[in-house]
Chain A
Amino acid sequence: MTGLLPAHEQDWYEASARERIAGLLDPGSFVEVLGPEQRAMSPHLAQFDLTGAFDDGLVVGRGLLDGKAVLIAAQEGRFLGGAFGEVHGAKLVGLLRAARDGAKEGGPQSVLLLLDTGGVRLQEANVGELAISEIIRAIVEARIAGIAVIALVGGRSGAFGGGGIVTACCSRIVVSEHARISVSGPEVIETNKGVEEFDSKDRALVWRVTGGRTRRLTGGADRYVKGRVQDFRDAAIALVEKAPPLTIATLQAEQRRLAERLRLYGDAKDAPEIWEKAGLSDPTHMADLTDDQFLALPMPKEADHDAR
């Protein structure tokens, strides 16, 4: 909105939640619901002497993606690390339930979730955890109703804690190199298990374990894209058509996929061991590849699947 580049040319990592939406959807098509002028703000942050945000860090609404109606939600990763609170969570639950209810009545057939979150806000921990549970239920119900829920991850906060679980519940997942997806974040692991177990300052380690390339190679993400907003848009357009339905068969396929992954790589101590077993050449230099080189790699067979 205020950048010098057109919205779709902007870097996803640097862009705000609103800029990502502007560049992801067809130009000018976004209509916000419960916008900042409604001042649906957190009732909890003031008692911790924290300033709120007018949209509680989540922008929700509807728009067009390549001419098709979609619902969309984007987290602002710079406000409290994009973390889930009560209002923030309720906005997302409402959006997903609207998708579910509209599925059979000609409403949008897909929801785009632009996740950028460290997890649940410590200041509203109980309501935040409840929000995560409600969001997971709402994603499942929307998917059963036939809605494609697409997660797009590539912001500075990644998708951690409950945000990592929410991501894994989606029909399809798009990542960039900047993406990190996990449940327990690096600092949480270090705090609980010690620095010998996991050094959260070791950025190469963090990305080897949680990063977008690792997730893509092991089937934890369905598309790897370069970092522009346009790249995420192209991937979203391609994926909304092909998202798997949430059926018993899909769940069984997911169970088989995960069991096989555990069987193949369960004893690996670090990601390069996995690449080596998967037959990738030069597994120790995965992080040094350019995006083009990475995209040209032959993917291991477990990277692409009909599960999720």
Chain B
Amino acid sequence: MEKIEVRGTAKRRVPGTSLRAITGVSASGNLEVLVERVMPDRECMVEVTTAVAGFGDIWRAVIEEFFERGAPGGLRFSINDGGARPDTVTLRLMQGVRLMETTK
């Protein structure tokens, strides 16, 4: 078990008023992402708990790219990971942003 925390800044505050959303599932090859609007508008953060240790550099690269592309200002993402591939991680993070923009 390994915990990874990555903080960043974002170009914008994610629009919408929803306070939280959850997507994905904590299972082998998958991950669940809990998104909460608890950060200052231009800051963001991802906390990862993963069953697969030793991939910290890849996690940081994926998350920093997501901060740049997804501009998830104001959001904290908490992840329970069951060994998802990087593309799945990016997909779930982007789904999380979309849910925060679209749900009430």
**Which residues between 71 and 91 of chain A lie within 8 Å of chain B, taking CB atoms?**
76, 78-79
A272 proximal to B (CB < 8 A): no
**Which residues between 29 and 64 of chain A lie within 8 Å of chain B, taking CB atoms?**
35-37, 46, 49-55
Within 8 Å CB of B25, what residues of A? 16, 53, 76, 78-79
Within 8 Å CB of A50, what residues of B? 51
Residue-wise, chain B 28-44 has the 8 Å CB interface mask toward A (1 for contact) of 00101010100000000
A257 proximal to B (CB < 8 A): no
B6 proximal to A (CB < 8 A): no
CA distance A18 to B34 in the complex (A): 13
Let me know if A51 and B50 touch, CB within 8 A.
Answer: yes
Let me know if A52 and B80 touch, CB within 8 A.
Answer: yes
B78 proximal to A (CB < 8 A): yes
For the residues of A in contact with B, the DSSP-based class is loop
The total of interchain contacts (Cβ-Cβ below 8 angstroms) comes to 49
Residue-wise, chain A 232-245 has the 8 Å CB interface mask toward B (1 for contact) of 00000000000000
> Per a CB cutoff under 8 Å, which of A1, A37, A79 touches B20?
A37
CA distance A2 to B50 in the complex (A): 23
**Which residues between 151 and 179 of chain A lie within 8 Å of chain B, taking CB atoms?**
none
12 A–B contacts, CB within 8 A, in A order: A36-B20, A37-B20, A37-B34, A46-B1, A51-B50, A52-B26, A53-B25, A53-B26, A53-B32, A54-B22, A54-B26, A54-B80
**For the complex of A and B, 8 pairs with smallest distance between CB atoms:** A53-B26, A78-B27, A51-B51, A51-B80, A78-B25, A36-B22, A36-B34, A54-B34
- Give residues in B with beta carbon < 8 Å to A: 1, 20, 22-23, 25-27, 30, 32, 34, 36, 49-51, 78, 80-82, 95, 99, 103
Given contacts A37-B36, A51-B80, 7 further A-B contacts (CB under 8 A): A1-B103, A35-B20, A37-B34, A46-B1, A51-B51, A53-B32, A54-B80
